[in-house]
Amino acid sequence: MFCPKCGTLSFPNPSGNISCTNYKCGYNGPAKLVIKGTDGEEVDLSNVKSKTESKKREYEVIKDSDKMQGILTKDTYMCPKCDCVEVFAYLEQTRSSDEPETRMLTCKDCGNGWREY
């Protein structure tokens, strides 16, 4: 619906009245129910209804923290929890592009994960 006074886009309440969103206009009242269409013909809007409907979305949480990712390295890193020297490692960009990558590490034996900056 458009405000009959200034033409600003407005949404009618359930009773059919509109409150103009233009603070300079401030029109409150019934909407004009007959308007002229693009071809000059009058269009009756008396049976138009507006509704607000929310749709429910389903989300699936993917947990991949227990998955061993990266390349298995030996004797390069040591797990701080179990002192194992076989560690899965990969690089991930966790900060802005002008900062260096973060090295993500996961122990092969105990599954402990940590990162090096």
Using an 8 Å Cβ cutoff, are 36 and 46 in contact? no
Q: State whether 38 and 77 are in the same domain.
A: no
Q: Quick check: is 57 in a domain?
A: no
Looking at residue 100, what is its pLDDT?
87
Listed as ranges, residues in the chain with pLDDT below 50 are none
Q: State whether 46 and 76 are in the same domain.
A: no
Looking at residue 16, what is its pLDDT?
74
pLDDT one-digit tens code per residue, 30-48: 766 555 666 767 666 666 6
- How far apart CA 8 and CA 31 sit, in angstroms, is 12
Note every long-range contact of 3-9, with CB atoms under 8 Å and residues 24 or more positions apart, other chains counting.
3/27, 4/31, 4/32
Q: In terms of residue numbers, what domain contains 26?
A: 1-50
In this prediction the pTM is 0.42
Backbone angles phi, psi at 65, to 5 degrees: -70, -25
